[in-house]
Amino acid sequence: MGEEIYQALAGIVGKEYVSNRPEELYFYAHDPGLMEPHQPDYVVMPKTTEEVQKIVKLANEKKIPVVPKGGGLALTGLVIPLRGGILIDLKRMDRILEVNEKSRYVVIEAGVTQGKLKAYLEKYYPHLRHSIPDSPPIATIAGNVLIHGQGRLTQQYGYNSDMVTGFEVVLPTGEVCKIGSCSISPYWISRGPLPDLAGLFLGWFGTTGIVTKLGLKLYPRKKLRDVEIFVVENEELVPDVLFRVTHTEMAEDINIWAQPYPLIFRGNHHITIYITGDTDEELEFKRKMIWDALQDYIKNREGGFMALTPDIKPTFLDMPQKSVTRFADVKRGGGFEYSGPFIPVEKYPQAYRKLVETASKYKTTFSSMARVIGRSHCMMFAFAFPFNRADPDDMERVRKAIHECNEAALKMGAIPWKAEVPLQKMVLEKMDPNTRKLIEGIKKLLDPNGIMNPGNWEWSD
Amino acid sequence: MVELKLNFDESKCLRCKTYDCLVKCQFLGLDREKAKVEMEKIIKGEDSSVLNDCITCYACEEYCKFGNHPFYLIVERQEAKGILPAPKPIIKQWVQMGELTKKEKEFEVKPLKEPVVSLCFIPALQPLIQGKLFEGVSTICGRHIFCNVVYLHFARSSVIKERIPIIVENIAKYKIKELICYHDECYGLFKSLAPAYGIDVPFKPTHLFEYLYNKLKENEDKIRPLNIKVAYQRSCSSRLTPEKEHFVDDIFNLIGVKRVEREYDRENSLCCAGIIRLHGNYELYNDLQKRNVEDMKKFGVEYCVFNCPYCYMFLSERVSKNGIKPIMMSEICRLALGEKPVRWV
Amino acid sequence: MKEDYLNQIHRCFRCGYCKFPSDFSDWNCPSYRRFRFDTYSTGGRLWLIRAWLNNEISWTEHLAEILYACPTCRNCVEQCPMGFSADITDWIVNARGEMVERGLVLPAIRDFLDNVRKHGNPWGKARSKRGAWTENVGVNKYKPRDEYLFYVGCIASYDERVQEAAKSFARLLNDAGVKFGILGEEEECDGNEVYMLGEKGLFQMLAEKNIKKFKELNVEKVVTFSPHAFNIMKNEYPKLGGNFKVIHYTELLLDLIQKGKIKLSEFKTKITYHDPCFLGRYNKMYDVPREILRSIPGVELVEMSRNRENSFCCGGGSGNFCTDLLGGSEESPNRVRVKEAYNTGAKILAVACPSCMTMLEDGLKEEELEEKITVKDISEIVEASSKK
């Protein structure tokens, strides 16, 4: 069967773009995180929706698992083929199909990377931008929205998944389906007011189909961008600081980070507030509003704005921020992973204390990285730990630390984000049984042969 | 460890006729009578409005005719009374910034060929050490030689007193005869702050400007006079060692640069206000920077020449936006020798 | 040493920055662009090297292909955000060395190395013909009273097209009154590609032969035609006792132009310049060739969007100009690059490297762009301008 499938795949994508060689199987079995590797049987790289469709039909016919992959940077093993099968690397599908300037949206193929879209808009549409995350630029737009990723515009406009205006999707049974306004119109302006079928694919980790195209909202890009970092010692103050800043509606993005090293940062919480404007006046107005909102803290000496000199500032203004990726080298170990649940902002102090306690228990260093979602509607709080890939003991301690943080997060009412399989099971266990049943039912309906990224969102009583 | 004591002679203050230290202050607005009253309170360790209102610009160190260190005394009193010129987390951050790691405490003393230029703990200065003026120099840079003078802005005399004996000892380990201080504040440490606390400095500190002047004289035949007008931004730390100020004019005369006689220069210099922003006073920061740059602009200067890298970093953006090119002193000297300035921060 | 890099190679996070230029606008890793499997990017390569050396995977020809398909262009060194970025190409070269030591190289690589060992060039052409290109050109053997040893290199010595460029340079030197000479059949391969292919023993032998010859002739200044030779003689020969003043030919040309020894007349055309990796990213020389072109009256210099430290490698490095591991597709880097050059509207694609010249000329033929844009060496452009 192996050779027959190989030849069939070669017939679809061309011999150059299919592999069952040990090197590709080894590499695609891993992701940069801590999850155990599992090898696919084949790696294919289609160029068109038609090729994807043919692959899926073949897989359905032969009941072979299929795993769609973009950048593979979720770090929680979401594109590790747990049951082998065909891993589809979508990055050859990298065309930017349309930019509708006046309606501010772009239509792209699933393999378009964050970096490519950023560069394209900067060159051809300098007054438009998308909500870029801090993952490395190889991360795909599709991969990020499909896991409810966040980016620089999340504080203003919600999750990156909220910015989707439509999909083209290959269903597990091989049909190609249009989702949103593009299903009845040439415009990809909106998901509604039709029944919102995008929800059948967002957050499902590829278990309900393969997105081959998407429409994404774009937003105004202002000429100037600046950053302020407000520092407090006491974690209890962070929620109120965020409440005040979000009330002003002046900020572009708000991140909060805390880490014990380098020493300069130890014991403080850094609330990084970005502002944009087309003129100095606009920027200064926004800056003033934010400073005014925090005057009480400054006057009673509980908080203050950090000095950001021209040699340091570019690090924070970089998009994506390379310093986030460099966290992987803190232990000179080539890795980091994080548990990044969505928590109510008021839970920040509790989450932070849990992080410190867990890091100490497992004798590892840490960083907390959080991003405000919406007007403080919630936040993504990352319990982040670097690990040394060459030290199995260190990796195991970090695994345990993350597991403990996952458990604590669930207990405090948090919602796990891009959960790895063990955490998915914990989520399903905790979930309302009818909700769980609905998830199972939808999966069964769309994927009767269970070929789509099996092992994910699976529950057995 | 013996607690270091400030060389302050209260009798000098008590017989002072002018109280210039507080009267000349650009921010306090005190007349002689009020200044006398407040100074007496400070000397006695009582509460004084000066301790809360001081913006830590160091100017009174220069204004005092007796060299009696009124500013260092103010800082000690601020700390004793728990007065916080800056928010607590900011002070914490800055104090932590200067704490030596285990590795830094056990640093390897690499033999250095003189002349040696100290870059303090400002690695960003390294790209500026190039060209004819710096041929053959060695540099040292790192937390282990960080001058720690900045803690005067945060009412942390205790940190200064704890660390500067170690810093002086660290430099002494290099067994060099002379240390050229790129950072004005380092020079202020060795010539003013350390002696004020009775610490001997076992090497000769030389200010960068003196070094530059001497090197320019050696290369006088290569100088192409620039024939330009500049504004000079005098750093707060210049107030600690005003005796070296003549080198600024000496250098400018050599290289054909006219230092415009503006309002906010020399003894009436305005602080770059970077620290004031850190303290949390955005309005004052904005006002000071605006006034300072307007004062430069009205003379139609081409450059603003900086002494201190931190003044540069805090003020250069506003200077540039107003059509004036920011440049460090060593860079304008290199320009006069026909060298291309570094594309710095 | 194997331990040195084996202790570090796990630090690769496979973040993928190595695939891009600074602005992320395109794929800038030549082997990733060609093959598109993640295994062909630097991150993939480093993970596979580690897996192989840790015995998680066995050696196969495909593994060797992946390892040798890297032209060591250093885009990854330039883009990697991690603290070890400067060491990346060394790790790849060391891993190749491991394969060489174990006798596990591809046939094309084996043949390349054997030919260099036996004949002093990768094609196995007669050593005695190395200096044959100088017939009727007025180039003599180097004598101790000459100012410069003109080190020609393998490609310029044997490739007919590149020989034309070498002749242009020689004529310019003669017209400017520069005293120079070559080694001819006594010239040994400089060893840059051999070094990059991991055959350190052979490299050392070649370098030592050259160094001995240069010293015997009291050579002080070497001007190289190829940036590959420039790179290895400037950076590695000193470690073996070869301390000479080594410059690339564009540096000498610019000096002669600035001193008025080469006079330039109007040469009205649009030119785009391709930064060779061994001049650019390896040795940070971006401005000298551009200054030459800008000094020619009438030349309009336009930049490709990927230029200077973001230059997209032609794919010729690590011996690929001979072994052609990146060929055979419209995604081959040389074909991608010539299209990029053509899209600038330039009429001439200027090069300063023999390897780039051969690769990009081939690319033009495969893209059928020969009528639309031509590849010219900088020496040829300068000669054309100076003759008018």
Residue B180 phi, psi (nearest 5)? -90, 125
| Domains of chain C and CATH, by start | 2-105 (no CATH), 124-254 (3.40.50), 264-387 (3.40.50.10700)
Inform me whether the pLDDT recorded for C100 exceeds 90.
yes
Beta strands B257-259; B228-233: pairing state = parallel
Beta strands A303-305; A224-232: pairing state = antiparallel
CA–CA separation, A175 vs A255, rounded Å? 41
* Interchain contact, A136 vs C17, CB within 8 Å: yes
- Interface mutation target, options B84, B93, B277, B308, chain A, most CBs of A under 10 Å: B93
Partners of A217 in beta bridges: A105
Kind plus residue range of the DSSP H or E element containing C211:
helix C200-216
CB C153 within 8 Å of CB C224? yes
Q: Nearest-CA neighbor of B83 among B60, B57, B54?
A: B54
Kindly identify which residue of chain B lies nearest to residue A235, measuring between CA atoms: B89
CB pairs under 8 A between A and C: 110
Inform me whether the pLDDT recorded for C359 exceeds 70.
yes
Please tell me the distance in Å from A91's CA to the nearest CA on chain C: 8
DSSP 3-state of A424: helix
Residue C375 half-sphere exposure toward CB, CA atoms < 13 A = 28
* Interchain contact, C20 vs A137, CB within 8 Å: yes
CA–CA separation, A60 vs A5, rounded Å? 12
Q: How many residues does chain B have?
A: 345
Would you write out chain A's pLDDT as a tens digit for each of its 461 residues?
Answer: 589 999 999 999 999 999 999 999 999 999 999 999 999 999 999 999 999 999 999 999 999 999 999 999 999 999 999 999 999 999 999 999 999 999 999 999 999 999 999 999 999 999 999 999 999 999 999 999 999 999 999 999 999 999 999 999 999 999 999 999 999 999 999 998 999 999 999 999 999 999 999 999 999 999 999 999 999 999 999 999 999 999 999 999 999 999 999 999 999 999 999 999 999 999 999 999 999 999 999 999 999 999 999 989 999 999 999 999 999 999 999 999 999 999 999 999 999 999 999 999 999 999 999 999 999 999 999 999 999 999 999 999 999 999 999 999 999 999 999 999 999 999 999 999 999 999 999 999 999 999 999 999 998 76
E strands in A193-277? 210-217, 219-220, 224-232, 254-258, 269-277
CA–CA separation, C13 vs A390, rounded Å? 12
Kindly identify which residue of chain C lies nearest to residue A322, measuring between CA atoms: C81
Angle at C263 between CA C260 and CA C267, to 5 degrees: 140
* Interchain contact, C83 vs A335, CB within 8 Å: no
Q: What is the pLDDT of residue C5?
A: 80
Mean pLDDT on B212-217: 98
Partners of A277 in beta bridges: A224
Spell out the domain ranges in chain B.
10-80, 88-211, 222-336
CB A258 within 8 Å of CB B92? no
E strands in B113-203? 116-118, 138-140, 178-181
Q: What is the pLDDT of residue B14?
A: 87
CA–CA separation, A404 vs A420, rounded Å? 14
Inform me whether the pLDDT recorded for B41 exceeds 70.
yes
Q: What is the pLDDT of residue A123?
A: 97
CB C248 within 8 Å of CB C279? yes
Please tell me the distance in Å from C129's CA to the nearest CA on chain A: 40
Mention every residue, 6+ apart, whose C-beta is less than 8 A from residue C3. Answer: none
Q: Nearest-CA neighbor of B8 among B24, B25, B23, B21?
A: B21
3-state secondary structure C271-321: EEECCCCCCCCCCCCCHHHHHHHHCCCCEEEECCCCCHHHCCCCCCCCCHH
The mean pLDDT of chain B is 96
| Domains of chain A and CATH, by start | 2-91 (3.30.43.10), 93-220 (3.30.465.10), 224-411 (3.40.462.10)
The dihedral through the CA atoms of B105, B107, B113, B118 has a sign that is: negative
pLDDT by residue (tens digit) across B276-296? 999 999 999 999 999 999 999
Q: Is C284 left (phi over 0), alpha (psi -120 to 50) or beta?
A: left
Q: What is the pLDDT of residue B1?
A: 60
R_g over Cα of chain C: 20
Q: Which of A232, A263, A310 comes nearest B89 by C-beta?
A: A232
B321 touches chain A (CB under 8 A): yes
Beta strands C374-377; A42-44: pairing state = unpaired
Q: Do chains C and B touch (3 or more CB pairs under 8 A)?
A: no
* B305's tokens: 């020449």
Residue A331 half-sphere exposure toward CB, CA atoms < 13 A = 23
Q: What is the pLDDT of residue A460?
A: 76
CB A378 within 8 Å of CB A365? no
3-state secondary structure C210-248: HHHHHHHCCCCEEEECCHHHHHHHHHCHHHHCCCCEEEE
Kindly identify which residue of chain B lies nearest to residue A300, measuring between CA atoms: B87
The dihedral through the CA atoms of C138, C144, C147, C151 has a sign that is: positive
Q: What percent of chain A has pLDDT over 90?
A: 98
Mean pLDDT on B109-117: 94
Asked if CATH classification 3.40.50.1860 holds for the domain at B222-336, the reply, yes or no, is: yes
Interface confidence (ipTM) of the complex: 0.97
DSSP 3-state of A188: coil
CA–CA separation, A126 vs C195, rounded Å? 45
Q: Which of B279, B282, B316 comes nearest A291 by C-beta?
A: B282
What's CA A247's distance to the chain center, in Å?
26
Res. C3 pLDDT band, cuts 50 70 90? low
Kindly identify which residue of chain A lies nearest to residue B344, measuring between CA atoms: A311
R_g over Cα of chain A: 22
Contacts of B142 in chain A (CB under 8 A): none
A301 touches chain B (CB under 8 A): yes
Kindly identify which residue of chain A lies nearest to residue C47, measuring between CA atoms: A27
* Interchain contact, A305 vs B277, CB within 8 Å: yes
CA–CA separation, C331 vs C53, rounded Å? 31
Q: What is the pLDDT of residue A344?
A: 97
* Interchain contact, B84 vs A301, CB within 8 Å: yes
Residue B340, Cβ density class (10 Å: 0-12 exposed, 13-18 middle, ≥19 buried): exposed
CA–CA separation, B49 vs B41, rounded Å? 10
What's CA A357's distance to the chain center, in Å?
26
Residues 100-159 of B with CB under 8 A from A: 101, 124
Q: Nearest-CA neighbor of A210 among A47, A82, A39, A88?
A: A88
Q: Which of B84, B93, B278 comes nearest A268 by C-beta?
A: B93
Partners of C151 in beta bridges: C224
pLDDT by residue (tens digit) across C300-314? 999 999 999 999 999
Q: Do chains A and B touch (3 or more CB pairs under 8 A)?
A: yes
Please tell me the distance in Å from B67's CA to the nearest CA on chain A: 32
A2 touches chain B (CB under 8 A): no
CB C103 within 8 Å of CB C92? no
C265 touches chain A (CB under 8 A): no
